Amino acid sequence: MNNERIAALVRQLLAEIGEDPDREGLEGTPMRVAQAYEYLTSGYREDPEEIINGAVFESCSNNMIICRDIELYSLCEHHMLPFYGRCHVGYIARKKVLGLSKLARLADCYARRLQIQERLTAQIAEAIMQATEAEGVGVVMECRHLCMMMRGVAKQNSIMTTSSVLGSFHDEEATRMEFLDLIGREVR
């Protein structure tokens, strides 16, 4: 990213909305915004395979492995406003397990891109399936979207829930129900 160019664009944006980019409170804002976007979009410059970095371990385990409440923050691709929430990940290992921190790092890698929640949920599930060759993978995400909260319909208490289920989580109702039960989600 070219932070100098982005800062110049932010400076221009400030002027376009009627602000004085030279006033005291805004002098450093263009560069701070550029640096913030560099971080918030760092997922474009990360490779999921490098994140995993060999942290796939042989295991005789074939039970369900779950990590709940992974917090995540992303930017909606439609308005470039934040959405945030939590992600629950589960998979049934065949012969490989993934280092626990890698689940959160994969979620961050995909979340730090312009996103829609539906795609983000699927990308995390697919990356885990590919890395572990699991029997099945399930990802459930619950997020609040500022594009819906602070503009448009202005619904403050809405939470969007998405899921992506692959392999046995998709094909076998009992497996899917066990996963949902273990993460504390009611199915209606």
Catalytic residues: 76-79, 117, 145, 147
Beta bridge partners of 86: 71, 142
Instruction: Give the containing element (helix H, strand E) for 105.
Output: helix 100-111
Q: Rg of the chain's alpha carbons, rounded to an integer? A: 20
The angle at the Cα of 150, spanning 114 to 84, to the nearest 5 degrees, equals 45
Distant-in-sequence, close-in-space partners of 75: CB < 8 Å, separation ≥ 6: 40, 41, 81, 82, 83, 113, 114, 115
Taking the C-alpha atoms of residue 105 and residue 91, their distance in angstroms, rounded to an integer, is 16
